[in-house]
């Protein structure tokens, strides 16, 4: 077993190209994509902020014109006088050449000034195009926020002291309003993401390698050379599963470290997570990860054994990957505390336990069950693989 294990690792570590493509290329790609997405969205935001909104106005009252000037919005105003111009402006809005249309009623200022209690209040209509970023942004800043501020000004002109109608405020001056355990909150955020990342990293990392290790060997005819030696089938299987575990483990550690270092930088500043992990948590997570890596590796090897070639193996593995991923993701949407029975469900329990460890909510018994179920399932699959190795049909002999 040791010899097989060593050889499988040597296959990767003796080849610089393999080391690069297995361990570093995916990380570089991920970091590159994240950086690209980050910088693109940042520059897009800047562009929107710099953009001078083109706003068409119908019956713009003087008070609003003054307000806009005072508020210093970055806009260019065009007045509309006729229905034809209005239709034209709408077309421009649809085409993305205009950002917002604001329609005031006739003589808005006079209607406001001469308002008597019980009269209908005038309505301001705004038109925008939500599928255009510039238009959405103009709607948000001018129609929603700007008009609200404008209303407050008119209101204070009419009432005088606004406090008279405000009665009370909620949390206008209460910086301590959030009372929570920061540790647990961050743990919860991390606990939602971690199972997802762990699955992606461990499974995806092992997928390509596992397929090559078994289906690839069958395809190349090199598996038979192992099968004619006196080495027990079980040893060949375990050597391969453990090698796969190690490789996917190493690749996910590299992934996590690189992501941990580069993520906050890419996203610009603090990620908002305020978190300290205890040694106990690290050990618990570490041991669980080894068990998960064992289970995933055995799944991948099992599928690869039954596939005729690498192509077929890849085809079979993708749905398995999806299933494992979805089961792991389900914990993201469960709010109630999981009962001990739920820790019996494979895949689901590992995600639960990872989350539980981070928020300090998993009991030792639940952790033990998770570990046990994962290892037993991995072992059962490994035995199944060894049985499959005995079959000449499965091994393409």
Q: Does 308 bind another protein (CB under 8 A)?
A: no
Binds another protein (CB under 8 A): choice among 19, 29, 282, 397: 397
Q: Does 231 bind another protein (CB under 8 A)?
A: yes
Kindly give, in sequence order, each residue whose CB lies less than 8 Å from that of residue 121, ignoring residues fewer than 6 positions away: 115
Question: What is the Cα–Cα distance from 316 to 303, expressed in whole angstroms?
Answer: 7
Binds another protein (CB under 8 A): choice among 217, 291, 295, 299: 217
> Which tokens sit at 114?
């001469």
Is residue 51 left, alpha or beta, with left meaning phi > 0 and alpha meaning psi from -120 to 50?
beta
User: Of 99 and 219, which has the nearer Cβ to another protein?
Assistant: 219
In terms of DSSP H, where are the helices of 307-363?
310-329, 348-358
Binds another protein (CB under 8 A): choice among 36, 37, 224, 323: 224
Q: Give the interface size with another protein as a residue count (CB under 8 A).
A: 22
From 28-36, 146-154, 181-189, 218-226, give the range in contact with another protein by CB under 8 A.
218-226
For 228-282, list the strands marked E by DSSP: none
Question: What is the Cα–Cα distance from 386 to 5, expressed in whole angstroms?
Answer: 15
From 60-68, 143-151, 217-225, 241-249, give the range in contact with another protein by CB under 8 A.
217-225
Binds another protein (CB under 8 A): choice among 9, 192, 226, 332: 226
Q: Does 220 bind another protein (CB under 8 A)?
A: yes
In terms of DSSP H, where are the helices of the chain?
2-13, 16-19, 25-50, 62-71, 83-95, 108-113, 133-138, 147-159, 163-166, 182-199, 205-211, 217-220, 223-227, 233-267, 279-306, 310-329, 348-358, 364-390
Q: Does 10 bind another protein (CB under 8 A)?
A: yes
Binds another protein (CB under 8 A): choice among 114, 180, 230, 335: 230
Binds another protein (CB under 8 A): choice among 161, 176, 276, 392: 392
SS3 392: coil
Site track 279-298 with another protein (rule: CB under 8 A), x = hit? --------------------
Beta carbons of 174 and 342 less than 8 angstroms apart: no
Q: Does 15 bind another protein (CB under 8 A)?
A: yes
Max alpha carbon distance in the chain (Å)?
Answer: 103
Q: Least distance in Å: CB of 199 to another protein?
A: 29
Sign of CA dihedral 268, 188, 183, 170: positive
Question: What is the Cα–Cα distance from 153 to 156, expressed in whole angstroms?
Answer: 5
Q: Does 45 bind another protein (CB under 8 A)?
A: no
Q: Least distance in Å: CB of 14 to another protein?
A: 8
Binds another protein (CB under 8 A): choice among 91, 225, 274, 278: 225
Residues in touch with another protein (CB under 8 A): 3-4, 7, 10-11, 14-15, 217, 220-222, 224-232, 392, 397
């Amino acid at each position: 077993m040791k010899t097989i294990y060593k050889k499988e690792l040597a296959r990767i570590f003796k080849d610089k190209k393999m080391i690069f493509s297995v361990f570093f290329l995916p990380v570089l790609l991920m970091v590159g994509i994240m950086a690209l997405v980050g910088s693109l969205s940042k520059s897009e935001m800047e562009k929107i902020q710099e953009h001078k909104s083109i706003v068409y106005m119908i019956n713009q009252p003087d008070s609003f014109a003054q307000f806009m000037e005072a508020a210093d919005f970055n806009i260019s105003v065009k007045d509309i006088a006729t229905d034809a111009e209005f239709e034209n402006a709408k077309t421009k809005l649809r085409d993305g050449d205009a950002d917002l249309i604001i329609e005031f009623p006739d003589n808005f200022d006079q209607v406001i000034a001469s308002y008597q209690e019980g009269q209908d209040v005038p309505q301001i209509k705004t038109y925008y195009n939500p599928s255009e970023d510039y238009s959405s942004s103009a709607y948000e800043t001018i129609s929603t926020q700007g008009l609200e501020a404008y209303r407050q000004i008119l209101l204070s002109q009419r009432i005088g002291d606004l406090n008279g109608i405000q009665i009370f405020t909620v949390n206008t001056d209460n910086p301590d309003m959030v009372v929570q355990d920061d540790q647990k909150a961050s743990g919860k955020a991390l606990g939602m993401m971690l199972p997802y990342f762990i699955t992606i990293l461990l499974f995806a990392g092992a997928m390509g390698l596992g397929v090559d290790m078994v289906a690839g060997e069958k395809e190349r005819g090199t598996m038979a050379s192992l099968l004619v030696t006196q080495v027990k089938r079980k040893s060949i299987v375990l050597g391969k599963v453990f090698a796969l575990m190690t490789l996917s483990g190493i690749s996910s550690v590299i992934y996590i470290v690189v992501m941990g270092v580069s993520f906050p930088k890419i996203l610009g500043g603090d990620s908002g997570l305020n978190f300290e992990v205890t040694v106990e948590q690290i050990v618990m997570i570490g041991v669980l990860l080894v068990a998960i890596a064992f289970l995933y590796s055995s799944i991948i090897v099992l599928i690869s054994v039954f596939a005729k070639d690498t192509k077929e193996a890849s085809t079979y593995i993708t749905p398995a990957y999806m299933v494992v991923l979805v089961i792991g993701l389900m914990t993201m949407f469960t709010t109630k505390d999981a009962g001990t029975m739920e820790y019996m469900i494979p895949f689901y329990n590992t995600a639960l336990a990872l989350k539980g460890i981070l928020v300090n909510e998993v009991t030792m018994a639940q952790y033990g069950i998770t570990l046990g179920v994962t290892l037993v399932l991995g072992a059962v699959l490994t035995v199944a693989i060894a049985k499959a190795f005995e079959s000449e049909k499965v091994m393409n002999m």
